[in-house]
Structure formats: C-alpha cells, structure tokens
Amino acid sequence: MGGMITAERIASLIEDAPAWALIGLAAPGESLRAAAQVPPPIDQKLFKFYTELCIAGKTTRGSQMDSHERLRQAALPIIVRDTPSALWSELRSGGQFVYADTFQGVHNDPNVLPDQKIDDLLQRRHFRMEKLLVDLAIKHGLSHSMSLIVQNNRRHAYAFRNDVGMTQSYVQMIGSLPQPAKFREKLASSMDLPRLDLGDEPDGAFTMRNVYGLIAHNPVGRRFRAEEQRLGMMQFCLPSADCKAWAVELTITEILEAYPAVSKRGTPLRSLPWKERKDDKGTGTSES
C-alpha cells in the first residue's frame, strides 16, 4: 500500500515540490525549469571562485575576461531570484526625481552661497538617495541596516535579501573605482566582530552576501546647472575580491532585461453583449 498513488499522496508531493516544478506542471512539452525561467541552484563556492579571479591587474591571458563574464552570468540569475524587478525600475525613476528635486531645492535656497551650492547639492542628494534605497527596501521586502557600514563617521544604508546586498553612492565617473568599494571590506570586518544578538538588527544582517554591490550613480555633468545635474547613469557594480576594481558593472536596463517577460495579452471578456429579442418589440418591454 505504501507505493499506491492516492489523492492525498499527490497533494503531499505538490505541497513539498519546488516552485519551478509546480510552474512546469502547466507547461507540457518543455523543460520544467526552462518553462519556469528559474535559474539552477547556485554553486556558492564556484561563485566565490569567479569573484576571486576578478583581481585588478591579473595577467593570465584570457582568464580575467572569462572570469568577469562568468561572474556576470552567475550574478544576474541571483539578482533576478532574490529581488523584484520593480525595485530596480523604481530605483531608477526615483533617482531621476531625487536628482531633479534636490537641484531645485538647493538652487532656490537663499541661505546657500553660490560658490557652495554644488557642495550642498552633493550632501543633500546623498541623504535623499539613502532614503530612497531604504524606502524601496521596505516596500519590496528587503531588510536593511543603518549601523553595519560606517565611513568617515557617516552611516550608510545597507539593504539585503537572501544572496543579494547593496549600498548606494555617488561616483564622479562611472567605471572608476570610488572609495565606497571599500564598503565590502568594512562590511566583512564588522561581521567578523564578536557580537551579542540584542535584536537591534534584522535577521541575516551579519551574513555576507555572495552578490554584494554598490548602486553607483552620477549626474550628466559637473557644473551647477539644471541640465547638467540630471541623473546621468546608474549601475549596480560588484567589486572584485580585493576591492581594487569592479568585477562586474550592470546597468539597470541590463538587470531588468534579465527578468522573465510578462505576458501582455489582455484578459478576454467573459460577458456577452446583451441582445434585444425581436419578439420584445412593440410589447412595451423594450426601451425606446
């Protein structure tokens, strides 16, 4: 009797089945995992190995380029799995608003000297982008901490979920390595310190994420003008193991394109149009 297939047994199997298998049940004739568009399980040791190969100045012919591309291919499925696409689209649109709004605020402030407006803008924009990151983290189910990363006596927002963690920072030029790349080192060192669990940090805050990156952003130009202080570029950058170079730089568009396409077909109308019966005419039952 133990091998008999019963309704209860089927229900139990479905309850314990992974999500990709359940989705695959509705996609006959295709690979279950491919139909569900769910990435295969991540080999954590292999991912770490790829990260360690992306070292600045590595000279082994061909290996560095291969390692960067392999790390990119491994990172994208993790990002798709652990963060909703709306987080990235709203991060970009929210960043555009923050850049424009903070400029207008500084531009219209009579209490700031003209020669110091650009400095004031950098400060205000930083804190507004921190608020944006935390707000979106809360909205989309990510945890966050304001005490794990401290740079020059300034606390930085750190958002995370499963294998993905992120901070944000302005950079003078996309592609150049900013000081915030050291956030990973500071984060790792803070996690190595012995701590008492006082309940003041969210669960998993002291676990280093495999995909830890910096949301790097900068304006179109450098001068204090509205057209030059619009959001120019925003990327999610993963530092190499030695934090001396970017191992992977992902644009928001590239991240969004990695998510499964959502069907845009409209839901068919189930109700049929009402038709007037011919025998109702002239009986007083039809409207004039």
246 neighbors 177 (Cβ within 8 angstroms): yes
User: What's the pLDDT at 33?
Assistant: 39
**107: Cβ–Cβ under 8 A, 6 or more apart, which residues?**
117, 224, 226
How sure is the predictor about 245, in pLDDT bands with cuts at 50, 70 and 90? confident
Name the more confident of 164 and 274.
164
Name the more confident of 205 and 189.
205
Instruction: For residue range 166-175, list pLDDT tens digits in order.
Output: 999 998 876 6
Name the more confident of 73 and 241.
73
Question: What gap in Å lies between CA 67 and CA 210, rounded to an integer?
Answer: 15
Query: Dihedral sign, CA of 255, 69, 169, 218?
Result: negative
> What average pLDDT does the segment 236-246 reach?
81
User: What's the pLDDT at 20?
Assistant: 41
User: What's the pLDDT at 31?
Assistant: 43
Name the more confident of 19 and 123.
123
User: What's the pLDDT at 32?
Assistant: 41
- pLDDT value at 29 more than 60: no
How sure is the predictor about 133, in pLDDT bands with cuts at 50, 70 and 90? very high
How sure is the predictor about 202, in pLDDT bands with cuts at 50, 70 and 90? confident
Average confidence score pLDDT of the chain: 75
Instruction: For residue range 270-279, list pLDDT tens digits in order.
Output: 555 555 555 5
H/E stretch holding 199: none
- pLDDT value at 9 more than 80: no
H/E stretch holding 207: none
Largest CA distance in the chain: 93
Question: What gap in Å lies between CA 130 and CA 137, rounded to an integer?
Answer: 11
Name the more confident of 204 and 38.
204
Helices (H) and strands (E) in the chain, counts: 9, 6
Instruction: Single out the residue of 215, 195, 214, 213 nearest to residue 205, CA to CA.
Output: 195
Name the more confident of 9 and 158.
158
> What average pLDDT does the segment 68-95 reach?
94
Name the more confident of 89 and 63.
89
Per mean pLDDT, which of 62-66, 105-109, 208-212 is the most reliable?
105-109
